[in-house]
């Protein structure tokens, strides 16, 4: 998936090892997917859109 020209409005990402991360803690993925269904707290969730910069 290619980077978007504009960051996702309202999404803060501090994972600077992600391909979609942009300065200012912005996400430049065209869309994100957060998983899994049935999570009970933040520790159980993750961004399935994450792609490592060295990947």
Q: Which pTM value belongs to this model?
A: 0.87
Q: Which pLDDT score, from 0 to 100, does residue 47 have?
A: 97
Calpha distance 34→46 (Å, rounded): 6
Q: Which pLDDT score, from 0 to 100, does residue 1 have?
A: 83
* Per-residue pLDDT tens digits for 2-55: 999 999 999 999 999 999 999 999 999 999 999 999 999 999 999 999 999 986
What's CA 26's distance to the chain center, in Å?
9
Q: Which pLDDT score, from 0 to 100, does residue 20 have?
A: 98
């Amino acid at each position: 998936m290619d980077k978007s020209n504009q960051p996702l409005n309202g999404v803060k990402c501090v994972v600077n090892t992600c391909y979609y991360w942009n300065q200012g803690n912005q996400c430049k993925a065209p869309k994100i997917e957060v998983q899994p269904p049935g999570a009970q707290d933040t520790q159980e969730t993750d961004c399935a859109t994450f792609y490592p910069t060295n990947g």
